[in-house]
Amino acid sequence: MGPIEQPRPMTPRPFRIETVKQETSNVFTWTLRAQKEGDTLAFQPGQFTMLYLFGVGEVPISISGDAEASGDLIHTIRAAGTVTQAMQQKQAGDLVGVRGPFGNAWPIEEAEGCDVVLAVGGLGLAPMRPTLYHILRHRERYKRVYLLYGARTPSDILYPEELRAWSDSGKIDVRITVDVGMDGWTGEVGLVTDLIRDIQLDPYHCVSMICGPEIMMHFTARALFHRRIAPQHIHVSMERSMRCATGWCGHCQLGPKFICKDGPVFDYPTIQAWLHKRER
């Protein structure tokens, strides 16, 4: 699937915050509704929007809702700095500007007929959630499906009810690990890479999608190489700060690629050399 062309990509469209759900101490989910009737925002799993807080600034945020459910736009946001902390102060009824969607999609079609390994760390579950919704809707198109999820602590686990429902459905093999097991946690303690050892997969028919901190994506990819998954079947989603999101300003350029328009999803061989380049 190619990117969806935007007729006026630099013009923010007004959306109203319908609901705010506090997910963890510093992560919240907004449900946004277009103010102009019929101005729904079609997107593909993996794409992001530029969210504009009037008078404060604009940041790229992945869409974390269901691409095949018409209606509201869902974003899960971590209060990290100037803009996102100001976003956390906003309430239902407030207006924000939305540009996009931008960027490419996770390779959900390439993965058809294959085992699928979705490996996520921390907030990386949010950009991956549209892929999970897609797989659940079209489960018959995929073979074994694993969600390997690493969180810092049990209280940092995102969407716990949905994780339980996906696991209970038997459609997705959900495996969770935490860095620090506190709060009566009886599950796995360790790294996402540890979870890769025990899964069953057909290395010649397997597609993996990884989303999380770069160091996590690097070591997860290496663990998958050890399971003989070819690098070109391993995909990662990259993050860099952005301005225009349309490939003009060069702010998110990484080597020959623009994260905003060539990515954010890249196959591993394409991005490998640039993974550890720090943002300046």
Ligand X SMILES: Cc1cc2nc3c(=O)[nH]c(=O)nc-3n(C[C@H](O)[C@H](O)[C@H](O)COP(=O)(O)OP(=O)(O)OC[C@H]3O[C@@H](n4cnc5c(N)ncnc54)[C@H](O)[C@@H]3O)c2cc1C
Q: Does 32 bind ligand X (CB under 6 A)?
A: no
Q: Indicate which single residue of 125, 163, 224, 242 sits in contact with ligand X (rule: CB under 6 A).
A: 242
Q: Does 243 bind ligand X (CB under 6 A)?
A: no
Cβ distance to ligand X smaller for residue 5 or 279: 279
Question: Residue 207: which of 130, 133, 141 has the closest Cα?
Answer: 141
How far is Cα of residue 164 from the mean position of the Cα atoms in its chain? 19
Q: Least distance (Å) from ligand X to the CB of residue 169?
A: 24
Three-state DSSP at 270 gives: helix
Q: Indicate which single residue of 34, 83, 95, 136 sits in contact with ligand X (rule: CB under 6 A).
A: 83
Which of 35-43, 70-78, 192-200, 226-234 is the region at the interface with ligand X (rule: CB under 6 A)? 70-78
Q: Does 254 bind ligand X (CB under 6 A)?
A: no
By rule CB under 6 A, what string of x and - marks binding of each residue 185-224 to ligand X?
----------------------------------------
Q: Does 123 bind ligand X (CB under 6 A)?
A: yes
Task: Report CA torsion sign: 52, 58, 63, 68.
Answer: positive
Using an 8 Å Cβ cutoff, are 240 and 279 in contact?
Answer: yes
Q: Least distance (Å) from ligand X to the CB of residue 87?
A: 8
Distance CA 233, CA 99 (A): 30
Distance CA 79, CA 112 (A): 35
Q: What are phi and psi of 199, to 5 degrees?
A: -90, 155
Which of 36-44, 55-63, 91-99, 216-224 is the region at the interface with ligand X (rule: CB under 6 A)? 55-63
* In 150-267, alpha helices (H): 160-169, 192-196, 214-226, 259-262
Q: Does 126 bind ligand X (CB under 6 A)?
A: yes
Q: Indicate which single residue of 16, 240, 243, 251 sits in contact with ligand X (rule: CB under 6 A).
A: 240
Peptide bond into 14 cis (omega under 30): no
Which of 29-37, 76-84, 189-197, 270-278 is the region at the interface with ligand X (rule: CB under 6 A)? 76-84
Q: Indicate which single residue of 48, 106, 142, 266 sits in contact with ligand X (rule: CB under 6 A).
A: 48
Cβ distance to ligand X smaller for residue 176 or 242: 242
H or E segment and range at residue 134? helix 125-137
Question: Which DSSP symbol is given to 273?
Answer: G
Q: Indicate which single residue of 71, 81, 113, 187 sits in contact with ligand X (rule: CB under 6 A).
A: 81
Question: Residue 111: which of 134, 91, 129 has the closest Cα?
Answer: 134
Question: Residue 149: which of 124, 181, 169, 186 has the closest Cα?
Answer: 124
Q: Indicate which single residue of 59, 116, 174, 234 sits in contact with ligand X (rule: CB under 6 A).
A: 59
Residues of this chain that bind ligand X (CB under 6 A): 48, 57, 59-62, 76-78, 80-84, 123, 126-127, 239-242, 264
